[in-house]
Amino acid sequence: MATLFVTILILLVQLVNSASSLQIHFYNNSCPRAELIVKSVVRKHVLQDPSIPAGLLRLYFHDCLIHGCDASILIDSTDDNVAEKEAPPNLTLRGFEVIDDIKASLEKQCKGVVSCADILALATRDGVSLSGGAAYALPTGRRDGTVSTMADVHIPSPSFSLSAALSVFQGIGLDLVDMTTLLGAHSVGLCHCGFFIDRLYNFEGTGLPDPDMDPGLLDTLRQQCPPHVVTLNNISKDPTVFMDQHSNTPFRLDASFYHGVLSEKAVLQLDQGLAFTDLTSKLATKYANRPEVFRKQFSKSMIKLGSVNVLTGEQGEIRLNCRTING
């Protein structure tokens, strides 16, 4: 027991030290225009496709959840390694081309200086801002990981219970408030029918729909996701619906998601579960009634997420190409 306690203590110290070595405007001297370049490229892509911020948010979360925020999700597979992005939960990730575009622009300005991990973190921050969230100050100084393996990928399923999902969040140092808040990112973007098809037709093997889904929403989603067109074995071709069915602004990051949760109009089972526990339902009600509180806490939780198991100092590397490990 004593050995286990010491091991946990060492890991916590390492985590705190890594996070504390990140700095606001880390590239002020080495690449002064870095953050301006990132924002400019993200804005260009958002103008062409307003769903980009949602794609970046999901890409960022899937990266930070495995190994920490080290851009390992961006690495391509090789002949002798199947990378994280090939794992089933990652096959519908989007936004890789945005990161490639930013990296190319930064390499012209400051070769070998800005990490892919920071690019992904900054691009996601700017996507949040451009879609209605706050433009929070983000500490930078992350370095890039050199390991990306499909077998390491364990992502919470949309059908997870809140307690199962919370254990995953707690495993990377986030708490119930962070989880409830970060799920608010589901106010933007699209969702594949395959992620919730069981709620429409055969919830938990009953042959019936999920009783916790609003009947009007059930009818709407059944029209958009008839069972004969849902392709679970090839989800990249699966139909999509707007993630936030309660909102008239599906590409705006706001507290509308929580109105949907409270009226049983959440698309995903995990999201709907927020309405059924004491603390999460109280938070959902607070966010729905006070959107500014949600925006402020979302920024705090995103900064906290971005500090998970980061590589700094001499750890890792600065990839010259975000898709490949140097050398």
Known binding residue 49? Answer is no
Q: What is the largest CA-CA distance in the chain?
A: 61
Q: Which residues pair with 192 in a beta bridge?
A: 240
Residue pair 103/97 in contact (Cβ under 8 Å)? The answer is no
Residues 6+ apart with CB under 8 A from 73: 59, 62, 63, 66, 84, 85, 90, 93, 120, 148
Known binding residue 76? Answer is no
Known binding residue 84? Answer is yes
Known binding residue 100? Answer is no
Known binding residue 92? Answer is no
First vs last C-alpha separation in the chain: 42
DSSP string for 225-237:
S-GGG--GGGGGG
Q: Is 62 a catalytic residue?
A: yes
Known binding residue 63? Answer is yes
Residue pair 53/46 in contact (Cβ under 8 Å)? The answer is yes
Residue from 65, 33, 118 nearest 319 by CA? 118
Known binding residue 184? Answer is no
Among the listed residues 45, 62, 67, 246, the single catalytic one is: 62
CA distances from 24 to 19, 140, 146, 182 (A): 12, 6, 24, 22
Alpha-helical (H) ranges within the chain are 2-20, 34-48, 52-65, 96-109, 116-130, 162-171, 176-182, 197-201, 215-224, 256-262, 269-272, 278-289, 291-305
Known binding residue 186? Answer is yes
Three-state SS at 157? coil
Residues 6+ apart with CB under 8 A from 271: 158, 183, 186, 257, 261
Known binding residue 53? Answer is no
Which two tokens mark 52? 């980009």
The continuous run of DSSP H or E covering 241 comes out as: strand 240-242
Known binding residue 215? Answer is no
Binding residue numbers for Ca(2+):
63, 68, 70, 72, 84, 244, 249, 254
**Residues making up the binding site:** 63, 68, 70, 72, 84, 156, 186, 244, 249, 254
Residue ranges of the annotated binding site for substrate are 156
- For the annotated binding site for heme b, the residues are 186
Residues with a catalytic annotation lie at 62
